[in-house]
Amino acid sequence: MSHTLEITDLKVHFPGRHGAPVRAVDGVSLHVAAGETLGLVGESGCGKTTVANATVGLQAPTAGSVRVQGTELAGASRSVLRDVRARAQMVFQNPVTSLNPRMTIGAAVGEPLLVRGRAAGRALRDQVAALLEEVGLRAEHAGRYPHQFSGGQRQRIVIARALALRPALLVCDEPVSALDVSVRAQILNLLVDLQARHAMSTLFVSHDLAVVRHVCDRVAVMYLGRIAEIAPRDAIFAAPRHPYTRALLAAVPEPDPAVQRAKPRLPLAGEIPSPANPPAGCRFHTRCPIVVDQCRHEVPPLRRVGDSDVACHLA
Ligand SMILES: Nc1ncnc2c1ncn2[C@@H]1O[C@H](COP(=O)(O)OP(=O)(O)OP(=O)(O)O)[C@@H](O)[C@H]1O
Ligand SMILES: [Mg+2]
């Protein structure tokens, strides 16, 4: 049986301003199994959103393969893409720009069902009411407009709309980053509940490892357009294998001050290089605390170490 999402050697290059293309995604392979949540983490600009967009057909791959439930998106016709977009739905970071301010929230949530001819009239109203209740809103609110809701409630509305077509894959790009800290946990718990209830697969993009730890079964760490490490959640937090993963984890504050004081300090040296001119060999070598000569010349392939797949010569 095919995985819900299977990405193989995906490349997305954008035209660069100075001739050299921006290699935003440069050879990424990953999968999300049925019912599984995969976290995709890494610093700003490493290519997370570009992977997410390619996964729902919003960004055409330069090379490689993106399959949703076995259907290839690379080079697919418009009608195939339209069909896949019903099965792979995206929740964006900003619930304000994700909703049309002139559309009632009932119309917004029901729109995918109406447009695809899945429901109309009474049946549509009933389904919209059920969707609103499923995300913790009240069915009576269907006639209200987005500005009448808080940021957290608006993200619930966006999630209800994404659920309307009962997608097999939910792609969440920083779904709580724009929200007040006080409501983030509620939205994350809602997503965890919905995943369990519908056995949905989820690709969960975040720069925040604490958030990923809360919701993901496995975690993929990206650096400059490539995967540095993929591992089950507990393995990545207990035994990170890639020096970049270790540096990211060292930057996550621990709730217990004693644990925090005992943590090794591994500051990342220097800036992230430009994806228009990435370093040869291992892309992380310019900032790596354990770099050896081989790293400057040879691209490390992903290989299995313990429970992790890790792209490091020294792991
Ligand atoms: N349409 C585009 N045209 C040119 N370059 C782009 C385009 N979209 C993204 N990029 C570049 O590709 C790289 C990856 O961007 P992307 O938005 O995927 O990163 P990200 O990991 O989502 O970052 P963030 O955490 O800030 O959201 C960046 O260098 C970005 O400037
Ligand atoms: Mg992004």
**Strands 226-232, 218-223: pairing kind:** antiparallel
Mean pLDDT of 252-257: 72
Residue 311 in contact with residue 228, Cβ under 8 Å?
Answer: yes
Crossing angle of helices 105-115 and 121-134, in 10° steps, is 120
pLDDT tens, residue by residue, 75-133: 999 999 999 999 999 999 888 888 999 999 999 999 999 999 999 999 999 999 999 99
pLDDT tens, residue by residue, 225-239: 999 999 999 999 999
Q: Which atom of ligand 1 is nearest to the CA of 205?
A: 22
Residue nearest to atom 24 of ligand 1 (CA): 44
pLDDT tens, residue by residue, 142-193: 999 999 999 999 999 999 999 999 999 999 999 999 999 989 999 999 999 9
DSSP codes, 81-132: HHHHHHHEEEE-S-HHHHS-TTS-HHHHHHHHHHHTTS--HHHHHHHHHHHH
Closest of 238, 169, 155 to residue 198, by C-alpha: 169
Q: Residue 55: its pLDDT value, please? A: 97
- In this structure, how many other beta carbons lie within 10 angstroms of the beta carbon of residue 18? 8
Bridge partner residues of 13 (DSSP): 23
Q: How confident is the model at residue 19 (pLDDT cuts 50, 70, 90)?
A: confident
Q: Is the CB of 46 under 6 A from ligand 1?
A: yes
Q: Is the CB of 221 under 6 A from ligand 1?
A: no
pTM assigned to the model: 0.94
Q: Residue 252: its pLDDT value, please? A: 75
Whole-angstrom CA distances from 271 to 39, 45, 142, 158, 280 are: 24, 12, 47, 35, 16
Closest of 10, 6, 3, 12 to residue 67, by C-alpha: 6
- In this structure, how many other beta carbons lie within 10 angstroms of the beta carbon of residue 250? 14
Q: Is the CB of 22 under 6 A from ligand 1?
A: yes
| Mean pLDDT value across the chain | 93
Q: Is the CB of 50 under 6 A from ligand 1?
A: yes
pLDDT tens, residue by residue, 52-79: 999 999 999 999 999 999 999 999 999 9
Q: How confident is the model at residue 250 (pLDDT cuts 50, 70, 90)?
A: confident
Q: Residue 266: its pLDDT value, please? A: 59
Q: Is the CB of 45 under 6 A from ligand 1?
A: yes
Residue nearest to atom 2 of ligand 1 (CA): 14
Distance (Å, whole) CA 152 – CA 93: 11
